[in-house]
Amino acid sequence: MPVSKTVLGMNARNFLYIRPFNKPSAKHLADDKLETKNLLLANNIPTPELLATFYTRKDVRNFEWNLPENGFVIKPARGYGGSGIIAFKSWRNGIGTTVSGQEYTIQQLESHIFNILDGAFSLQYAPDKAFIEERVIQSPFFKKIAPVGLADIRIVVFRLVPVMAMMRIPTLQSFGKANLHLGALAVGIDLATGITTSATSKSRMIYFIPQSKKKTAGMKLPNWEDMLLLASRTQQIIGLGFAGVDIVIDAKKGPVILEVNSRPGLKIQNANLASLRTRLERIEDMDIPSPKRGVTLAQTLFAEKFSEKVTTSPQILPVVYPVFIRIKDSVKEIKAKLDTGAYRSSMDKNLAEELGLPIEKEQIFIKSASGQAYRPTAKLSFQLAGKKITSQVTLVNRSHLKYPMIVGRVDLKGFLIRPEIDHEQDNDLIDEVEE
């Protein structure tokens, strides 16, 4: 079947894709962030947790204002163009500090929510609902790429098949918002591998991220397949045929759905240097049975040429690598040794106590070069190179060793270890007792 090579314009998008594939009821649902969120939660799709909802003025007056100290976000359900959203980075003694440093008292927050309910931020000033959700803490991977604001990933999904994706990186010019109109960067992503390709900002090609001077091409996003599957499942649940799914990566939860758009913008084509229309026409008359099949199809059909050369095989890590452990509200970084010689991961006893890990009653029998012993264990979940690992670690006194933690074979699934030692890492490794 011949497919059109032209770029997808507004006329074609509205008439050929939105009108036939997005039913009014589904559009209405996607336009309401609160309803979308409830539906996603009911279907076990990860999304920032809902802390409070306000349907009437009475709800606001009865609210206790017990909010998490490390921040939250207030949103109108049907806000127009991102207006009315306030993100707080801290909440102490009834005073909230926004991400940009402004302070709000409870009274000011109440009046903001009243404004939302009156429809100050919705189209046609229709009465609205307000809600408070937990704040997404950007994962360390994105913090390096996007030092200002929260970067997000937009995946356009058409009838269960992800057709195009881009990462939106906020800049100083866009006031830390991932809004392309304001001058945020749009970075194209190869669907097969999750590696970034070209980038544009305001219809101009960009090669470096302005703040961090990093190259825009060649970054590999973590958990790429999970994100594609998540986007496809979200599209299925919301019931839109043609949807733009916005995903952010939380340091603790991994990819979470932020919102779903029933009229996805077309500038994504500039970021990917590819026509959406060609891709949509290719899959228009196919019936895809499941999101999983849709993702496989997308990765096969819409792979960039270079993806053939990329081995999607394990990520290669050096011997010493930081591990992130999340305890309650803070993230702790620990230098760990990735040790393929060890079967289990083990951790310094003192550190485990310091972190407050619950020690399991059951002890594990360990055989090592230095003898055999029963060791106490603890349940621990940590993040290694963007991958969340939940494991049972053995506890031992490592205070005489350089690295307080060893990551063993069971937890290194999906990684390869580069054996040579980096210059920055000292030769002290030799002193380590092999287990």
Partner 1 sequence: MKYFITTIVIPILLLISPFSAAAQTATPEASLAVKASASAQQSKKQLKQVLQNINEITNPEQDKQKNTVLSELQQNRNVAHLSLINASPFAIQYAIKAGVPTNTIVLILLLPLLATIVVAFRYLVGLSGIGLLVPIALSITLLATDVTPGFIMLAAIIVASLVSRFFLKRFPIMQMPKIALSMLMVSIFLLIALTISSIYGIVDVRNLSIFPILLFILLSDRIVTIFLERDFIETIQTTVITLFLAILGFLLLTWDQLRLFTLIYPEFILLLIPINILIGRYFGLRMTEYIKFQPVLKHASK
> Under the rule (CB under 8 A), what is the footprint of partner 1?
5-7, 9-12, 15-16, 80, 111, 115, 118-120, 123-125, 198, 200, 203-205, 266-267, 269-270, 272-275
Angle at alpha carbon of residue 161, lines to 5 and 269, rounded to 5°: 40
Nearer to partner 1, 204 or 423 (CB): 204
Q: What is the DSSP letter of 319?
A: S
Nearest CA-CA partner of 131 in 188, 53, 221: 53
Backbone angles phi, psi at 161, to 5 degrees: -105, 120
Task: Quote the least distance from Cβ 271 to partner 1, whole Å.
Answer: 8
Inter-residue contact 407 to 338 (CB < 8 Å): yes
Nearer to partner 1, 6 or 290 (CB): 6
Task: Quote the least distance from Cβ 246 to partner 1, whole Å.
Answer: 21
Nearer to partner 1, 119 or 239 (CB): 119
Task: Quote the least distance from Cβ 274 to partner 1, whole Å.
Answer: 7
Task: Quote the least distance from Cβ 206 to partner 1, whole Å.
Answer: 10
Nearer to partner 1, 10 or 327 (CB): 10
Inter-residue contact 89 to 28 (CB < 8 Å): no
- E-state strands within 277-386: 315-317, 320-327, 330-338, 346-348, 359-368, 371-384
Nearer to partner 1, 164 or 395 (CB): 164
For residue 54, list its beta bridge partners. Answer: 130
Q: How many Cα atoms occupy the beta-carbon half-sphere of 231 within 13 Å? A: 33
Task: Report which secondary-structure segment, H or E, holds 345.
Answer: none
Dig out the tokens for 285 from the structure: 């008359």
Task: Quote the least distance from Cβ 156 to partner 1, whole Å.
Answer: 14
Q: Give SS3 for 415.
A: strand
For every residue of 84-95, DSSP letters joined together read T-EEEEEEETTE
Nearest CA-CA partner of 218 in 295, 100, 90, 307: 307
Nearer to partner 1, 268 or 357 (CB): 268
Task: Quote the least distance from Cβ 270 to partner 1, whole Å.
Answer: 5
Nearer to partner 1, 273 or 286 (CB): 273
Nearer to partner 1, 275 or 391 (CB): 275
Task: Quote the least distance from Cβ 337 to partner 1, whole Å.
Answer: 45
Task: Quote the least distance from Cβ 5 to partner 1, whole Å.
Answer: 7
Nearest CA-CA partner of 37 in 73, 90, 81, 80: 73
